[in-house]
């Protein structure tokens, strides 16, 4: 397990939820910086509820495909 400079374990990437609002977000590590974004969301009351769902390929609808 990796730790921060103060000995706390690093926050893992994944699916996070804020209990009060029910808002869910997928958070990832920042290359070269680690987990500062995840740390900020945790300070705002988000908790990790699991791994991030698999990304699905979304094909945007174009004007020509609408016809």
- Strand-pairing partners, residue 37, are none
Instruction: For residues 9 and 19, give the distance between their C-alpha atoms in angstroms, rounded to a whole number.
Output: 22
pLDDT digits 0-9 by tens, 33-51: 888 899 999 999 999 999 9
Distance of CA 35 to the CA centre of its chain: 10
Instruction: For residues 42 and 27, give the distance between their C-alpha atoms in angstroms, rounded to a whole number.
Output: 11
Rounded (5°) CA angle 34-28-38: 65
- Identify the pLDDT of residue 34: 81
> Does the pLDDT value for residue 67 go beyond 60?
no
């Amino acid at each position: 397990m990796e730790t921060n400079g103060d000995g706390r374990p690093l926050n893992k990437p994944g699916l996070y939820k804020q209990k009060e609002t029910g808002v869910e977000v997928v958070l990832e590590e920042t290359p070269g910086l680690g987990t500062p974004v995840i740390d900020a969301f945790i300070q705002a009351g988000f908790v990790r509820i699991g791994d991030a769902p698999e990304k699905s390929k979304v094909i945007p609808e174009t004007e020509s495909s609408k016809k």
